[in-house]
Amino acid sequence: MAKAEVTVILPGLAAILGQQLNANILPTFLSKIIKQAQFGQDETRLQRLLLNHFSHQKHVGPDLPIAGLSLANSILVTPCYLHPDRDQLLLFSNNLAITDDESQSLIAEIQPLLDDFGGSLVKQRSDSWLLQLKHIPSLDFSALEDVANKGIEQTLPRGEDRQPWLRLWNEIQMQLHDADINKQRVAQGKLPINSIWFWGAGEFFAKAGAWDKVQGCSDLLRLVARASNIELEHSDDFSATSLTSGNHLWLLEELDIENDWQQQLNDIDQNILRPLWESCKAMKLSKVKLQIPDYGNYHFSPIDCWKFWK
């Protein structure tokens, strides 16, 4: 029987490894992996990484087909704040603290502008909506994770239906500019929601049985696992000792860089990376891959664990 292989995705680690000053304070087994494993640079971000793990083909275009996993004939709509910076507009969508009531008010402001497009807004979460349409426009959108915190000029929709959708986008911004809900947010010390971002169009073609076991807590992971007919385990107990065969995917919780990331990383090192390293060294696992979104991949097999000369 073939031994188990494990792929571990650790979001948030890229920001730590990207700072050379942190090299000497990394925990023991992460340091061993960095020193002895085989490394391949890969700047793929988390959502694209997850989709590619369950897809028949890699998604290399500007957008990611995520909306259809939740609702047919839809695109994603993310409320955001556009900030003018010299000659460009920067888009921010994280940590905007949008409440459910605010979300409903924002949708009420925008919905009338969508009627001519045959669109209906559906709230997934307070900070994420779906726009269901009779016909998906002939446009190339850009995935939010590739746009967030950056200038948007080069990532605006392109394609046959560009002009009416850019006009709609501008009308939405004008509608939100004077909206009472934004006046209330500003009075509360919050940033206004002065725009939205369309993205997530297209059809996702799942690869059935891509993994024998999938574990982690993520809305997107749940959707792609379901599309691939794979049961998702939500437990945060990642144990290498029970693995005997099969191909396993673990998505760990994203590191909170703002709050004692060293302790978080130490816990991961002792409870997850150490058992994986020791099981691989004992030849109970045939291969382990540590994937760090927006950074790269570390691969190690039993022979790598015994490289005493490194």
Say if strands 213-216 and 247-251 run parallel, antiparallel, or are unpaired: parallel
Q: Is the model's pLDDT at 276 over the cut of 80?
A: yes
Q: Is the model's pLDDT at 40 over the cut of 90?
A: yes
Mean pLDDT to the nearest integer, 219-242: 88
pLDDT band per the 50, 70, 90 thresholds, residue 252: very high
CB 194 within 8 A of CB 177: yes
Q: Is the model's pLDDT at 310 over the cut of 60?
A: no
d(CA 198, CA 206): 23
**Tens of pLDDT along 61-78?**
999 999 999 999 999 999
d(CA 6, CA 238): 11
- List Cβ neighbours of 290 (8 Å cut-off, separation of 6 or more): 8, 10, 33, 37, 273, 297, 298
pLDDT of 175 reads 97
Lowest mean pLDDT among 90-104, 146-160, 176-190, 223-237: 223-237
Residue among 268, 292, 249 nearest 16 (CA): 292
pLDDT of 139 reads 95
pLDDT of 296 reads 98
CB 220 within 8 A of CB 67: no
Mean pLDDT to the nearest integer, 269-284: 95
Residue among 73, 76, 78 nearest 203 (CA): 73
d(CA 91, CA 84): 9
State the virtual CA torsion across 129, 133, 136, 139 in degrees, nearest 10: -50
**Tens of pLDDT along 53-63?**
999 889 999 99
**Tens of pLDDT along 163-183?**
999 999 999 999 999 899 999
pLDDT of 309 reads 59
Say if strands 195-199 and 128-133 run parallel, antiparallel, or are unpaired: unpaired
Mean pLDDT to the nearest integer, 240-263: 90
Q: Is the model's pLDDT at 33 over the cut of 70?
A: yes
pLDDT of 148 reads 95
pLDDT band per the 50, 70, 90 thresholds, residue 50: very high
Q: Is the model's pLDDT at 151 over the cut of 90?
A: yes
pLDDT band per the 50, 70, 90 thresholds, residue 2: low
For residue 117, give both structure tokens. 């497009």
pLDDT of 142 reads 97
Dihedral sign from CA coordinates of 158, 163, 164, 170: positive
Report the half-sphere exposure of 100 (CA within 13 A, side-chain side).
2
Mean pLDDT to the nearest integer, 227-251: 87
Buried b or exposed e, range 10-34, using 16+ CB within 10 angstroms: bbbbbebeeeeeeeeebbebbebbe
Say if strands 4-9 and 285-292 run parallel, antiparallel, or are unpaired: parallel
**Tens of pLDDT along 155-167?**
999 999 999 999 9
pLDDT of 307 reads 80
Residue among 137, 77, 135 nearest 107 (CA): 77
90 bridge partner residues:
83, 151
